[in-house]
Amino acid sequence: MRGKVEEGLYLGRKLTKAGPSMGKIAFHTGIRVLLAGVVIVAGVRGNPVQGKPVSVLAGFLAALFVLGAALWVFFPLFHCRDYLVFYERGIDIKGRKWTLEKLGEISFMEAKYSYSLFGRTYLCTAVQNFDVTYIKDGKKNFNQAYYDVI
């Protein structure tokens, strides 16, 4: 198994890097916090809390629901360390290195799903489609690195 230095040399010289879009991450997290707050306020006003849960199972289910809601609200924060590094002969996508030959033809796709507030951005390759929604200027840096287009 080759070390990181050897892999970096194999991919060639570093051309450019695209880091996380902290503004987009903060905005998406803020919208989710606001939406969750509205749901909580509406739920508490409609059904005021009257003591502790009736049983251990009800308490467990409530805790499970709160955990799931918290994961949904703070999901964009998991993408604070996302990045793309473009090399002469490959790309480092969120810590995984790929050669251009293995990735094949590369394109970007914007997708908006029915029940989603925001669209998603994918880096589409022959290997798989990589979610690069929270990476700032990924497509621009790709074009600048490989096509000298801004």
Q: How confident is the model at residue 40 (pLDDT cuts 50, 70, 90)?
A: confident
Ramachandran angles phi, psi of 105, nearest 5°:
-70, 135
pLDDT tens per residue, range 54-91:
788 878 888 899 999 999 999 999 999 999 999 988 99
What was the pLDDT predicted at 149?
Answer: 56
- Judge whether residue 141 has pLDDT over 60: yes
What's the whole-model pTM score? 0.79
State the chain's mean pLDDT as an integer: 86
